[in-house]
Amino acid sequence: MDILPILIDWSPYILSGVASTLGLVLTALGLGILLGLPMALGQVYGAWPVRAVVGVYVWFFRGLPILVLLFLFWFGIFPAIGLGHLSAFVVGAVVLGLRGAAYQSQIFRGAIQSVGEGQMIAARSLGMSKFTAIQSVILPQAMRIALPGWSNEYPNILTDSAVCYAIGVVELLTITSRIVTQTHMTMPVYLVAAGIFIILNYGGLKFLHGLEKRVAIPGFGTGAT
């Protein structure tokens, strides 16, 4: 039997898997910024209790394997706090996002700290409050500095998203396994799935690098990775 007709037959199903995988990744990336940026600000500008809490959070989420985190939240924590009704997709996306926030917060933190201290001094000397200075002087620079490192989070989260298979999220790898079971075309189907992941991976990176070029400013931290 040939692989091509099988692919055509199953293409809607495969596409739904791609959509689900991208859904996981985009949710996780979004959640990562939403939580990671305040965490980074807390670590740089916050009082020591804030820094300590963020530090423990980062240590925890970076120290555990993604598989264990998924198991812990899917089977343990979420049901225990009354969120047992959440779908595997939501739990997968949230766990990827919580973990992503830990990694991304450190990218943002490094970027904020690499903005020269003169920028803050100059902003304050003009009468800006600390908040305004962070918002309109520090962050616009830090985000540009962080972008290359942040872009590299995309392939990490994409490849990690496949582990959501373990809690039954119907993403690309789950769908691949189902097609393998149904068709007994083992290797070709796996290789096609690998091909799709590779395309998503480098396609997404290409898009992000394009974005980096678009927000680039002459003589300002571009090309630095």
Partner 1 sequence: MDQAVFLFDILLPALMQGLVITLQLIACSAPFGLALGIAVAVGRQYGHPAISWLCRTYVFLIKGTPLLLLLFILYFGLPSVGITLTAFMASILGFILCNGAYNAEYIRGALISIKEGQMVAARSLGMTRWQAIRSVILPQALRRAIPGLSNEFIYLIKYSSLAYMITVIELSGAGKLVATKYFTYTESFAAVGIVYLVLVSITTIAVNILEKRVAVPGTVRATPSAQL
Partner 2 sequence: MNDNDIVLRVEDIHKSFGGIEVLRGVSFDVRRGETKVFIGPSGTGKSTLLRCINQLTPPDRGRVWLDGEEVTNSGARINHFRQKIGMVFQNFFLFDHLTAVKNVELALLKVRGMSKAEAREKALTELRQVGMEDWAEHYPAELSGGQAQRVSIARALAMDPDVILFDEPTSALDPELTREVLEVMKKLAKNGMTMLVVTHEMGFACSVANEVLFMENGVVAEQGSPDLLLNDPRFTRMKDFIGRIDSRMSD
Residue 102 or residue 145: which is nearer to partner 2 going by CB?
A: 145
How far is the first Cα of the chain from the last one, in angstroms, to the nearest whole number? Answer: 47
Here the tokens at position 177 are 């396994």
Least distance between partner 1 and beta carbon 156 (Å):
10
Contact, 73 vs 96, CB < 8 A?
no
Here the tokens at position 64 are 């555990």
Site string for partner 2, 194-223 (x = CB under 8 A): -----------------------xxxx---
Contact, 15 vs 23, CB < 8 A?
no
Largest CA distance in the chain: 74
Measured CA to CA, the distance from residue 81 to residue 92 in angstroms comes to 16
Least distance between partner 2 and beta carbon 111 (Å):
12
Least distance between partner 1 and beta carbon 76 (Å):
3
CA 193, 197, 201: angle at the middle one, nearest 5? 170
Least distance between partner 2 and beta carbon 212 (Å):
14
Least distance between partner 2 and beta carbon 196 (Å):
38
Helix (H, G, I), strand (E, B) or coil at 152: coil
Q: Which helix (H) or strand (E) holds 96?
A: helix 88-114
**Burial level of 23, CB count in 10 A (0-12/13-18/19+)?**
middle
Determine the residue type at 51: R
* From partner 2, partner 1, none, interface partner of 174 (C-beta below 5 to 8 A by class): none
* From partner 2, partner 1, none, interface partner of 13 (C-beta below 5 to 8 A by class): none
**Interacting positions 138-167 with partner 2 (CB under 8 A):** 140-141, 144
The runs of H, that is alpha helices, within 64-87 are: 66-71, 78-80
Contact, 57 vs 65, CB < 8 A?
no
* From partner 2, partner 1, none, interface partner of 197 (C-beta below 5 to 8 A by class): partner 1
Q: Which residues form the interface with partner 1 (CB under 8 A)?
A: 59-60, 62-69, 71-72, 75-77, 79-80, 106, 110, 155, 158-163, 165-166, 173, 176-177, 180, 186-187, 190-191, 193-194, 197-198, 201-202
Residue 92 or residue 123: which is nearer to partner 1 going by CB?
A: 92
Binding segment toward partner 2, per CB under 8 A, in 26-34, 49-57, 127-135, 170-178: 127-135
Least distance between partner 1 and beta carbon 176 (Å):
7
Q: Which residues bind partner 2 (CB under 8 A)?
A: 116, 118-119, 121-129, 132, 136-137, 140-141, 144, 217-220
